[in-house]
Amino acid sequence: MRKLIVGVMGGGEGASEDVCRLAYELGRLIAQEGWVLLNGGRGVGVMDASAKGARECGGLTLGVLPDRNAADASPYIDIPVLTGFGDGRNYINILTSNVVVALPGRTGTISEIALALKNGRSVILLDFDLGELFSEYRKAGLMISVRKPEEAIAEIKKILADTTQFF
């Protein structure tokens, strides 16, 4: 049986300590569920923190890197995927993820949210206020806001219960 792949997106350079703490805890909880954590793979911000949380709890981590060199990969990434696609790797991040959790970030994170919604992936915003952006997806139930990592996990479980698209 295939494992659920949870994409964790969020800020790299410049991510606050609070956001990184949320990402670490989210990664830990994803691993405890036995799910695979996928992120952008770099050793900064949400990517590094979420991978560290998952790895320290025995989880499997997959990092989709923008370049052809694994030197920028977080030491907590088990499987680095080298793309050479730059920002184009966001498509791989999203299409490989069964569900996406987005933490505060900038344009790269927002582009991943947009790609996820456009491709029918559920997006859980973890302490990330986008205001009215993508409000039609929120109304349709495809985008959900939560404040705590535990709430994100509960929402993923609800999504799993409501669909068979994952396996």
CB-facing half-sphere around the CA of 47: CA atoms within 13 A: 25
- Per-residue confidence (pLDDT) for residue 30, from 0 to 100: 98
- Per-residue confidence (pLDDT) for residue 130, from 0 to 100: 95
Q: Which of 125, 102, 120 is nearest to 112 (CA)?
A: 102
Q: What is the pTM of this model?
A: 0.94
What are the pLDDT tens digits along the chain (167 aa)?
A: 689 999 999 999 999 999 999 999 999 999 999 999 999 999 999 999 999 999 999 999 999 999 999 998 999 999 999 999 998 999 999 999 999 999 999 999 999 999 999 999 999 999 999 999 999 999 999 999 999 999 999 999 999 888 655 55
- Per-residue confidence (pLDDT) for residue 32, from 0 to 100: 98
Spacing of C-alpha 141 from chain mean position: 18
CATH fold of 5-162, please? Rossmann fold (3.40.50)
CB-facing half-sphere around the CA of 36: CA atoms within 13 A: 18
- Per-residue confidence (pLDDT) for residue 115, from 0 to 100: 97
- Per-residue confidence (pLDDT) for residue 2, from 0 to 100: 83
- Per-residue confidence (pLDDT) for residue 104, from 0 to 100: 97
